[in-house]
Structures are given as structure tokens and as C-alpha cells.
Amino acid sequence: MRIASLPQPAGTGCESGFRGVVCVSFDSADDTADHDAGGRPRHDLRFTSANPESLSELRSALLRSSVGIRLVLTGSPVDIHAAAAVAAECGLAEEEVTLVSDESGLRVVFCAHCRTRTETVEPIGSEVECQGCATDLEIANHFSRRQAAYLGFAANAEEAA
Amino acid sequence: MNTTIINDQNTGDTAVLPERIKGFPFPFSSDSYRYSANVEPAHKIVQTDVGSWGSSLIDVDEYYLSDLKEREKVLEKDPSRTAVLPHMRPAVWDAITTLLPAMAEDHPDTMSYHREGNVCRWTNTLQNLELEFTVGDDDSLPMGPMRFLGSQITDDIVFLDPREDTLWLDAGLVTFAADWSFGFDVGMKFMEVHTPVPRVTTEPVINRAHQFLLRLQPGEQFRRTNWTMTVDRRLDTSTESYPEWARDRGTIANDPDLPNRLHLRVEVQHMLCLPHTGAVLFLVRTYLLPLSDIAQVPVWRERAGHVLAELPDDMAEYKGIIRYRKAASDWLLAGE
Amino acid sequence: MTMTALQPEVHHAVKDGLQLEVTDVTRQTESIVSITFADPSGAPLPSYVPGSHLVVQCGTGANAYSLTGSGTAPSEYTISVLQVADGAGGSLAMHRLAAGDLVYVSRPRSAFAPAATARHFLLVAAGIGITPVLSHARACAEWGIAADLIYVHRPGAGAHVTEAKELLGSAVTECSDRVSFQKTLAEKLTTQPLGTHLYVCGPVAFMDAVLDQAREHGWPSARLHSEAFGAAELDAGEPFTVNLARSGVKLNVPAGVSLLETLEQAGKAIPNMCRKGICGECSLSVLRGKPQHRDLYLSDQEKAENTTMMCCVSRSLDEELELDL
């Protein structure tokens, strides 16, 4: 069953003072349709990815809402982490946000050395080449919700060349 | 006179120990080391085998100006070493109005602080500095409050905001990190910052420290020490600059100059609950002493040698010393 | 224990505190007076976190009162005290204080701190509960953060109303009956901008009702704060006796004095560092009796075994403990 409403044009979002559940899904994720809003008013937003336009639409929807709101984010780590960072900036507390993550999706690795963000499907603990400085980065199990990224640092740097 | 004269067992000479050794916070009290919440009240003077340390909150020693110069260089190259999330602005001002008077009290010959309402006068003759600023007015300090505080104390500065029953690392200025990235960790919870610590699941020490910091009352000041090792007198061993210094970890074991290049790195960490905001201030002052200096104190030489030899592999790995700790302990213990 | 007859013993709750002089007493309402304290030498007083309280020793007792200032670099501390009809809680003695009197007070303690991340405050007070909330309102004004205040009081019995209105203007709503309060509260709880935190102070039943209602309207616990005096400090505890098995000595540990202090006074050198129950240095072996564990060091399992205790904070559940000392 699909109960999600059609995507709405930017700017009209939910009404001012909304205090229900905002369900945001990225890409093809259908999971938010299954999220039980517990009988509370529900507003659906569907985006292809967490790009500047979609994040700005999310931001304005949140800033129009009132205390009592809950946010459910569904999609790949790369998208839902970026959206969660926006929610935190807007003043949402952790217990007001639920993340439904597709762990097989893309995640972001932040290069500690050149600060470039590299997207990858490689799991935590493996290595990925930085798209900025071409360093082989080890993906640490160290996540920053503000950067919406995992820490990457030079792998094997202690071995003599 | 308080110079200490000891008999150097290697050379048979008597040597007058320099300040950097006499004031060094040597961290080992026995021949083995494990994590512990080795917390004690600030300001308590600790007698070591050859001197003492710990009388003041902010230590001003022979490295004061050179360390601050080094900090400026690091910040110029990488401004991400400092950050203040917007809600932490009052806490930074709280730290300034707490630490400057504490420094003036501990170092009355060189520093003075006067506050009249929100207008403060600060004099620091070590820097030829005399200025007036207004609490809460960021523009009244030439480089903003956080950078200013970081230009007056050599400690790395971390602010923890207590909310939602946890502590959030939401501001700071860290140029002398021991193998972590402040810029990446800003915004994390205290427990998340410490996720890479091995044994953290079996050793309750981090959680205990967390509970302790959460319960600090405004005005309370405590401290603890921590340690690792660093090749050369390199203060900036952050994750950011890791590619510059990582190689040394692999080559130092075979370097004939190891005793002079390899340093014991001790952090004196102060934990304060700021009086007006209730934010927890975590200050980290880094001391580096080469093994050749450690060896000038026979008791230190032996104890450090045993600690390095005995340390479990996972802790040696986490401290980043596993590739050379045997070479270091061999050298230290060969002097017995 | 030595003590001079003229100098009353310093209550444990104000130990390591300050001795201040009463500089002003102002009547707020028929039953509420504001009392101002300052350092007798005119020295500045420690800053405090908005919403903090002060423990004041008056007569033989000591009670906590909210500070009503913003806490920024104060030269004086002001509290407001409601005279309780049955005289319980020392309010009668407090109302007898006059300018020039010297009193012992604790350092300000924080247990109702404003969230640094709050974008907006919804302050709710009933009666004398206005005091910590007024402190918040002042801090909001200083840092330029908006706040709404709902203040419930009997007609004509509102303290600090003028000050609150000077600080918050039309954002103050006074209610003197249940119906208008319910209406105002429901309206405010459903219209607060994202990032608002709610602070409530008043009688326990009043606070519970406000918090329940907020939860019903979807407020998460992270946004709800209520004043609970003294929650941040350990209580004095019951007196008990320790029997030092190896020394053959019995010592009395009075309320408000730690076991560690008692042992030190008796000339026992006990290794210790933090004196706050975290470092584990002052561990003692218990041979008999149940310790009242109040430390952060021992695991739950270790506590349950009752063979070890941290003497800097922990006490006894039994009348007597036997220690391996």
C-alpha cells in the first residue's frame, strides 16, 4: 500500500506550525511509506538525492513547523546523513529524528588531509582513493553527524616507502 | 636555591638538571600502566623524583612563546583547527573571564586582569600586550574570542556542552592533537569522540569519566594526565598532518639518534565546569621530553623502560607506539 | 569536636562556601521578601549559571533558594523567600534577616541550567517558582534570546511581575485562575518554534501537570526541564559507626562528614585523589556490614558484593561497618 502524497513543489511544503511527522525519502526508497505515524498528521517529501535544492526545501519545511514535530529520514547514508545535519542545524534534537538507513548505499568519506568528500559503497574498515588528493584512505569507524561523513586517513602511511 | 644535583650513573658526572626535566609531569608511578580515571583536584603540587609540577592551572614555562608561535603557524595553514558552534559563544567568553584572572593570580609578575562591569583590562608583559575588551562583544578582541584565548594559553582548548544527558564537543581550538582530528570531531558526543579507544568496551573508564564530567558543578576544577610518544619535538601530531609524520613511526626504531629524537609525550588535562554557562572546559597542555632527558633521572629511565616493555599490544597499537616501543624500552633498560 | 558557643557550626551544605552580609531586604508581596547578600569587603562574587540556587544557613537549618539575577559577574546575590504558614523550612528565620546580618551560604549550584542550543524559551512559573525563571529571563535578555513566560499566581500576589515585564514585555502572560492558565498553556505548547525549550518551576503537582501536557503535545524529554532542588549534590547521609578491625578502633561518622574525612581526622593515612568517587584510589575492604555505595568507580557487580567501598563518598546502610584497617 502506498499512502505517500505526491511530491510537492518547493516552497509550499507542510503548513506553518505543523506538529506531525515529516517523512522524507531519498531516491527509490519506499520504506517511509511503511512508517507508522501513530495516528498523527503526516507529511511526505520525496527527493532524488540530498542536493542543495532538496536540503533547502527540507530546511524551510522544518523552520515553518513547531515543537512536537518528528522527522523520519529514509535512504542511503549519504542522503540521510546530509538531511540529519540540516535537521540538527534547524534545532531538532536527536530524539526527534529517526534514521532508516540503507547500509548498502553510498556513504561519504571525509579526507582528513585535504578535506575532500569522496562517495563510496566500500564498507567501514576498507580503503578508498580520495578524489581530492589521491591518497589511499582507510575508512575509520568514526562518524561525524555534522560533516555527515566517516573519517578517512592515509592508509599504510607508517610503512617505509 | 632549588637546583637539583644528582649523580649521572652513565658518565659519573654530576649534572644540574634543567627546568624542562625538573618541571616535567612524569606520568608513571609503577612499572606498568593501564587506563584509569586518575583524576585529582587542580592546583595540587605533585612532587616527582627530581622536582615538582601542577601548582598552576595554566602553566607558563620556557616553551610558552615558542609553542604559541608554533600554534599560529598551524592555524594559518589550517583554520579548521578551531571552531565554535554558534551556541557556544557565551561559553568561550566564560572561559576567557575565568582563565585570564586565574593566570594573573598565578603569574602576578607578568600578567594582570581587571574587570569593571563587562569591560576588562588584560596585561601580558611576556607578549608586550595590553588591551581592553568588552565581555560578549566579539569585535572587541582583534582576532575573535576563541583565537584570542588560544593566543594567551598554550593548552589545547575543548568545550563540552552538557545537554540531553551527555556532553557534546561543540567548540575549541586544538593545534597540538595527539592523533585525532578536532575539526572532524566537532559536534560529536563525548563517547563518540572516544570510540576508537581499544578496551573501551571492557574498561568502564571512559564512561566513568563521562559521568564524572556531567556531574561537575560550576567552579570545580580537576585534572589528570595521559601519555604517548612522539618522534621529534613535534606538537602537531593531528590526523590532518598524519602523512607528514607517520613515516617516522616506522623508521625511528632503527635510527641511531633514537634517544634524542623519541620523546615521551605527557598531557596534563584540566577539566573545569565554567561558572556562568556550566559548559565543561577541557584543557590539554602537552609536554615533550626526549628519552635522553628521561635517562638523566635513573628512576624514570628504569620505570619508563618497564612500562613500555609491559604495555599490552592493543594499547601500544592505539597509542601509535607499537613499531618502536621495544627499541625504546631496550635502550632505556640497557642503561641499568 | 570543638566549637565555640557564639559561632554556630557551619552546616555541611554550605561547607567551602562563602560568608556574606545581608545588604538589603525588600518586601515583594505580603508573604514574599527579597534578600540581597554581598561580600562584606565588597569583593565580586562568583558568576553563576542562570537558574542556580544558593544554600543559605539560617538558624540550625540550611535551605536552597533560587538566585534571581542573570549570574553575570555579580557583585551581589538576591533570593526571594516565601514565608510558609507552618514555619517549616526555615522561612520564618529567613524573614527575620535584616541588613548587616552575616550568613553562611554555599557557592551557587546549578541544577536548572538553560540549554545552550535553545532558540527560544517557554518559561512557566507558579507562585514562588518565578525566582529561577526570572534568572532565565534576565539571561535571555542579556544574550538576545526570545522567551515567553506564563506566570500563575493568586490575584495581587505576584512577585517580580514588573521586572519580568521589563525584561520580556508582552511575552509575559499572567494567569490567576485554572481555566485561563489551561487555555494559555495549551495555546503556547502548540505554537512554539522549533528549538524551543520549556522550563517549569512551581509546586511538584503543578510541574508534573505541565510536563504531562507538554508530552501529550509531542514535546520530547530533551526539551523539558523542571527545577529539582539539590539533585546535583549528594545528601549528608545518615550517621554510622565504623569498626576498624586491625586497629581495634571504633569511629563515629556524623551526617555531612565523609568516612574518608573521619578516618583522616583519626590520623589514618588513606590514599586518595579525586575525593569525588571516580578515581578509585580510596578503596577500602569491608569485612562486615552493607555499604551505601555512592561512587562512580565500582561496577554494579562489585557494589553488590559489598566487599569494597570508596570511602570519599560512600556511607553505610547498616548502623555499623567493619573495615580491614
Q: What is the DSSP string of C197-258?
A: EEEEES-HHHHHHHHHHHHHTT--GGGEEE--TTTTS------EEEEETTTTEEEEE-TTS-
Q: What is the per-residue pLDDT for C228?
A: 66
**C87 or C122, higher pLDDT:** C122
Cα C159 to Cα A56, C134, C167, distances in angstroms: 45, 10, 14
Q: What is the per-residue pLDDT for B38?
A: 84
The b/e string for B289-309 (b: 16+ C-beta within 10 A; e otherwise) is bbbbbbbbbbebbbbbbbbbb
Question: Residue A37: helix, strand or coil by DSSP?
Answer: coil
Whether the per-residue pLDDT at B11 is higher than 50: the answer is no
Instruction: For residues A104 and A107, give the distance between their C-alpha atoms in angstroms, rounded to a whole number.
Output: 9
Q: What is the per-residue pLDDT for B5?
A: 46
Q: What is the per-residue pLDDT for B202?
A: 54
Active-site hit among B224, B233, B234, B323: B224
User: Which of C190, C193, C222 is facing A93, going by the closest CB pair?
Assistant: C222
Number of independent structural domains in chain B:
1
Find all residues with CB under 8 Å of C23, minimum gap 6, and list them.
Answer: C36, C37, C38, C76, C99
Instruction: For residues A51 and A48, give the distance between their C-alpha atoms in angstroms, rounded to a whole number.
Output: 8
Residue indicated by cell numbers 625511528? B252
Pairing of strands C53-58, C61-66: antiparallel
Q: What is the pLDDT of residues B190-216, one digit of tens each?
A: 989 987 655 555 567 777 888 889 989
C115: closest chain B residue by CA: B163
C-alpha cell at A10: 518547493
User: Which of C222, C274, C278 is facing B164, going by the closest CB pair?
Assistant: C222
Q: What is the dihedral of CA C267, C268, C269, C275, to 10 degrees?
A: -100
Query: What's the rounded mean pLDDT across residues C68-74?
Result: 95
Lowest mean pLDDT among A10-14, A83-87, B39-43, B273-277: A10-14
Question: Which DSSP letter does residue C10 get?
Answer: P
Pairing of strands B119-124, A117-120: unpaired
Lowest mean pLDDT among A75-84, A111-120, A123-132, C256-265: C256-265
**C150 or C3, higher pLDDT:** C150
Q: What is the per-residue pLDDT for A34?
A: 62
Q: What is the per-residue pLDDT for C227?
A: 85
Q: What is the per-residue pLDDT for B261?
A: 98
Suggest the residue from C296, C297, C312, C313 to mutate for an interface test with chain B (most B CBs closer than 10 A): C296
Cβ contact (<8 Å) for A91 and C221?
no
Per-chain mean pLDDT for chain C: 89
Whether the per-residue pLDDT at C183 is higher than 80: the answer is yes
Whether the per-residue pLDDT at B8 is higher than 60: the answer is no
pTM attached to this predicted model: 0.88
Chains A & C: contacts with CB separation below 8 Å: 48
CA distance C187 to chain A (A): 12
Query: What's the rounded mean pLDDT across residues B72-77?
Result: 98
Q: In CATH, what is the architecture of C120-226? A: 3-Layer(aba) Sandwich (3.40)
C75: closest chain B residue by CA: B117
CA distance A3 to chain B (A): 34
C-alpha cell at C213: 501536557
Domain around B318: 5-334
Q: What is the per-residue pLDDT for C16?
A: 81
Q: What is the per-residue pLDDT for B24?
A: 98
Q: What is the per-residue pLDDT for B203?
A: 62
Whether the per-residue pLDDT at A12 is higher than 50: the answer is no
Q: What is the per-residue pLDDT for A31?
A: 55
Q: What is the per-residue pLDDT for A32?
A: 55
**C44 or B9, higher pLDDT:** C44
- The total number of residues shown for chain B amounts to 336
The proportion of chain C whose per-residue pLDDT surpasses 70, expressed as a percent, equals 92
Is the Cβ–Cβ distance between B277 and C49 less than 8 Å? yes
Is the Cβ–Cβ distance between C262 and C253 less than 8 Å? yes
Cβ contact (<8 Å) for C193 and A68?
no
Q: What is the pLDDT of residues C155-168, one digit of tens each?
A: 988 999 999 999 99
Cβ contact (<8 Å) for C218 and A90?
no
Which residues of chain B lie closer than 8 angstroms to C113, CB-CB? 162, 278
The C-alpha angle A109, A111, A117, rounded to 5 degrees, equals 55
Whether the per-residue pLDDT at C315 is higher than 90: the answer is yes
User: Which of B184, B243, B323 is facing A147, going by the closest CB pair?
Assistant: B184
User: Which of A40, A68, A92 is facing C190, going by the closest CB pair?
Assistant: A68
Suggest the residue from B84, B184, B191 to mutate for an interface test with chain A (most A CBs closer than 10 A): B184
Per-chain mean pLDDT for chain B: 92
Q: What is the pLDDT of residues C231-282, one digit of tens each?
A: 334 567 889 999 999 999 999 999 888 999 999 999 999 988 778 887 788 9
Q: What fold does the segment set C240-323 form as a domain? A: Ubiquitin-like (UB roll) (3.10.20)
Instruction: For residues B155 and A68, give the distance between their C-alpha atoms in angstroms, rounded to a whole number.
Output: 42
Question: Residue A135: helix, strand or coil by DSSP?
Answer: coil
Domain ranges of chain C: 13-105, 120-226, 240-323
Is the Cβ–Cβ distance between C148 and C126 less than 8 Å? no
Instruction: For residues B66 and B72, give the distance between their C-alpha atoms in angstroms, rounded to a whole number.
Output: 10
Query: What's the rounded mean pLDDT across residues C61-88?
Result: 86
Q: What is the per-residue pLDDT for B195?
A: 78
C217: closest chain A residue by CA: A68
Q: Does C222 touch chain A (CB under 8 A)?
A: yes
Q: What is the per-residue pLDDT for B4?
A: 46
Cα B299 to Cα B17, B126, B226, C38, C218, distances in angstroms: 14, 35, 19, 52, 63
**A43 or C90, higher pLDDT:** A43
Which residues of chain B lie closer than 8 angstroms to A143, CB-CB? 192
HEC secondary structure over chain B: CCCCEEECCCCCCEEECCHHHHCCCCCCCCCCCCCCCCCEECCCCEECCCCEECCCCCCCCCCHHHHHHHHHHHHHHCHHHEEECHHHHHHHHHHHHHHHHHHHHHCCCCEEEEEECCEEEEEEHHHCEEEEEECCCHHHCCCCHHHHHHHHCCCEEEEEEEECCEEEEEEEECCCCECCCHHHHCCCEHHHHCCCCCCCCCCCHHHHHHHHHHCCCCCCEEEEEEEEEEECCCCCECCCCHHHHHHHHHHHHHCCCHHHHEEEEEEEEEEEECCCCCCEEEEEEEEEEEHHHHCCCHHHHHHHHHHHHHCCHHHHHHCCCCCCHHHHHHHHHHCC
Cβ contact (<8 Å) for A160 and B246?
no
Whether the per-residue pLDDT at B44 is higher than 70: the answer is yes
The proportion of chain A whose per-residue pLDDT surpasses 90, expressed as a percent, equals 75
Q: How many CB atoms are closer than 10 A to CB C208?
A: 12
Touching subunits for chain B (3+ Cβ pairs under 8 A): A, C
Cβ contact (<8 Å) for B38 and C72?
no
Query: What's the rounded mean pLDDT across residues C196-221?
Result: 94
Instruction: For residues C207 and C228, give the distance between their C-alpha atoms in angstroms, rounded to a whole number.
Output: 10
Touching subunits for chain A (3+ Cβ pairs under 8 A): B, C
Which residues of chain C lie closer than 8 angstroms to A90, CB-CB? 194-195
**B214 or B153, higher pLDDT:** B153
Q: Please, what CATH class does the domain formed by A21-101 belong to? A: alpha beta
CA distance A115 to chain B (A): 9
Cα C319 to Cα B276, C288, C289, distances in angstroms: 41, 11, 8
Domain ranges of chain A: 21-101, 107-154
User: Which of A113, A140, A159 is facing B250, going by the closest CB pair?
Assistant: A159
Q: What is the dihedral of CA B314, B315, B316, B320, to 10 degrees?
A: 100
- ipTM of the prediction: 0.88
Let me know if B224 is a catalytic residue. yes
Instruction: For residues B145 and C89, give the distance between their C-alpha atoms in angstroms, rounded to a whole number.
Output: 44
Check whether domain A107-154 has CATH 2.20.28, yes or no? yes
Is the Cβ–Cβ distance between C308 and C284 less than 8 Å? yes
Partners of residue A150 on adjacent β-strands: A109, A143
Q: What is the per-residue pLDDT for C74?
A: 95
Scanning C113-132 for CB atoms below 8 A from A yields 117, 119
CATH code that applies to domain C13-105 = 2.40.30.10
Q: In which region does residue B44 sit, left (phi positive, over 0), alpha (psi from -120 to 50) or beta (all else)?
A: beta
CA distance C87 to chain B (A): 31
Q: What is the per-residue pLDDT for C209?
A: 95
Q: Kindly report the backbone phi and psi dihedral angles of residue A88, in degrees, each rounded to the nearest multiple of 5, phi listed first.
A: -65, -40
Query: What's the rounded mean pLDDT across residues C34-51?
Result: 96
Q: What is the per-residue pLDDT for C279?
A: 78
The proportion of chain B whose per-residue pLDDT surpasses 90, expressed as a percent, equals 82
Is the Cβ–Cβ distance between B265 and B247 less than 8 Å? no
Instruction: For residues B40 and B53, give the distance between their C-alpha atoms in angstroms, rounded to a whole number.
Output: 13
